[in-house]
Amino acid sequence: MKNKRYIVVDLETTGNQANKADKIIQFSACIVEKGEIIDQFSTFLNPEKRIPPFIKELTGISDKDVKDAPLFEDVSSIIHALIDGGIFVAHNVSFDWTFLQKEMREAGEAPLKMKLLDTVELARIMYPTVDSFKLQDLADEFGFSHDAPHRADSDARVTAELLLLFLEKLETLPLATIRKLTTLSQHLTGYLAELLFEIEMRKERELAALDAKWTEYRGIVIRQKSIQEAQYSRADNMYYPKSEEEKIALFQAVNETLTPRAGQFLMMDTIMASWRNEANVLIEAGTGIGKTLGYSLPAIYFAKEHQIPIVISTYTNLLQSQIFHKDIPLLTALTHFDVKAVVLKGRDHYINLFKFEQLLSEVDKTYDVVLTKMQLLVWLTETTTGDIGEVNLSSGGQLFWNRMKHTGWFLSPQKDPWLPYDFYLFNQKQAKAADLIIVNHALLLQDHFGGGKWLPDYEYAIIDEAHHFTDAARAQQSFVFSYRRMKFFMNRLGTLGKEAILKRLEMMFPEKHQLFDIEIAVLKLEEALEELFLLLAQKLLKANKNTTELLLVENVIDEKLDTALFFAGEKVLLLMKEVSSTLDDVLAYGKREADKFSEGESVFLEEVYSFVLDWKRAENQLSRMLYEKEEAMMLYIESDRNKALGSVRLRANIVQVNHTLQKDFFDAKKSVVLTSATLTVDDSFAYIRKELGLDEGIATEQIKSPFCYKENARILIPSDMLPVKGTPVEEYTSRLALYLSAIARETSGRMLVLFTAHEMLQKTYRKMSQDASIAEYRILAQGVSSGSPARLTKQFLAFDKAILLGTMSFWEGVDIPGDDLSCLVIVRLPFAPLEDSYTKAQIALRKKMGLNAFQTYSLPEAVLRFKQGFGRLIRRETDRGIVFVFDNRVDTTAFGKTFLHSIPEVPIIKGRELELLEEVKKFFE
The answer to whether residue 158 is domain-embedded is yes
Check whether 290 is labelled as a binding-site residue: yes
Give the C-alpha separation, 146 to 151, whole Å: 10
Residues 490, 625 share a domain: yes
- pLDDT value at position 792? 85
pLDDT for position 286: 92
**pLDDT one-digit tens code per residue, 146-192:** 777 889 999 999 999 999 999 999 999 999 999 999 999 999 999 99
Give the residue from 140, 171, 202 where a domain finishes.
171
Both 589 and 519 in a single domain? yes
Rounded Cα–Cα distance for residues 398 and 248 (Å)? 49
287 is annotated as contributing to ligand binding: yes
Q: How many CB atoms lie within 10 A of CB 667?
A: 12
pLDDT attached to residue 183? 96
Burial of 487 by CB count in 10 Å (0-12 exposed, 13-18 middle, 19+ buried)? middle
Asked if residue 221 belongs to a domain, the reply is: no
**CATH code of the domain containing 862:** 3.40.50.300
Residue 813 marked as a ligand binder:
no
Query: What is the mean pLDDT for each group of 10 consecutive residues in the chain (925 residues)?
Result: 83 85 93 94 92 82 90 93 93 94 92 93 96 89 83 94 96 96 95 95 91 95 81 60 87 71 94 95 93 94 92 89 89 88 89 95 93 98 93 93 92 92 92 92 84 83 95 88 93 86 90 86 95 93 79 85 94 96 93 89 93 95 90 88 86 87 88 96 95 92 93 94 88 95 91 93 93 89 81 82 90 79 93 84 87 94 94 87 93 92 94 94 88
Please give the Cα distance from 754 to 789 (Å, whole number). 13
Sign of CA dihedral 80, 82, 85, 90: negative
Quote the crossing angle between the two packed helices 599-627 and 501-508, to the nearest 10°: 130
Please tell me whether residues 592 and 724 are part of one structural domain: no
In single-letter form, the type of residue at position 707 comes to F
Nearest to 286 by CA among 297, 294, 274: 294
Instruction: Please give the pLDDT value at position 819.
Output: 80
- AA letter at 724: V
CB burial string 553-575: b at 16+ within 10 A, e below = bbbbbeebbeeebeebbbbbbeb
Same-domain check for residues 649 and 715 = no
534 C-beta neighbours (distance < 10 Å), count: 14
Question: What is the DSSP pairing of strand 649-654 with strand 633-638?
Answer: antiparallel
Q: Which domain holds residue 592?
A: 480-654
d(C-alpha 182, C-alpha 192), whole Å = 8
Determine, yes or no, domain membership for 620.
yes
Residue 152, domain CATH: 3.30.420.10
Note the pLDDT of residue 484. 92
CA-based diameter of the chain, in Å? 87
Total Cβ atoms within 10 A of residue 906: 19
- N-term to C-term CA, the chain: 60
881 is in an annotated binding site: no
Q: Kindly state whether residues 618 and 732 are assigned to the same domain.
A: no
Domain end point (choices 111, 144, 171): 171
Sign of CA dihedral 609, 613, 618, 624: positive
Say whether 248 counts as a known binding-site residue.
no
Query: Are residues 609 and 714 located together in one domain of the fold?
Result: no
Residue 734 in contact with residue 721, Cβ under 8 Å? no
Task: Tell whether 725 and 622 lie within a shared domain.
Answer: no
Contact between 462 and 295 under an 8 Å Cβ cutoff? The reply is yes
CB 582 within 8 Å of CB 514: yes
Round to whole Å and give the CA distance between 818 and 810. 18
Q: Which DSSP symbol is given to 585?
A: H
Asked if residue 884 and residue 759 are part of one domain, the reply reads yes
Domains: count for the chain: 3
At 572, give phi and psi (nearest 5°): -60, -45
Assess whether 713 and 650 both reside in one domain. no
- Boundary (domain end) residue, out of 147, 171, 195: 171
Q: Is 332 labelled a binding residue?
A: no
288 is in an annotated binding site: yes
Helices 563-592 and 514-543 meet at what angle, rounded to 10? 150
Contacts of 104 (CB under 8 A, 6+ apart): 76, 79, 80, 111, 112
**289 carries a ligand binding annotation:** yes
Residue 756, domain member (yes or no): yes
Answer whether residue 644 is part of any domain.
yes
Closest CA to 594 of 608, 615, 581: 608
Measured in whole angstroms, the distance separating CA 803 from the mean position of its chain's CA atoms is 24
Residue 483 phi, psi dihedral angles, 5° rounding: -60, -45
- C-beta separation of 578 from 485 below 8 A: no
Distance CA 38, CA 53 (A): 35
Residues 96 and 26 in one domain: yes
pLDDT at 256: 58
**What pLDDT was estimated at residue 723?**
86
Q: What is the pLDDT of residue 237?
A: 59
pTM of the model: 0.85
100 occurs within a structural domain: yes
Examine residue 329 and state whether it is found in any structural domain, yes or no. Answer: no
Q: For 624-644, give the secondary structure using H, E and C.
A: HHHHCCCCCEEEEEECCCCCC
- Co-location of 714 and 643 in the same domain: no
Answer for the pair 896, 863: CB distance below 8 angstroms, yes or no: no
**677 inside domain:** no
Q: Are 824 and 872 in contact (CB under 8 A)?
A: yes
Residues 40 and 161 in one domain: yes
Report the distance separating Cα 606 and Cα 611, nearest Å: 9
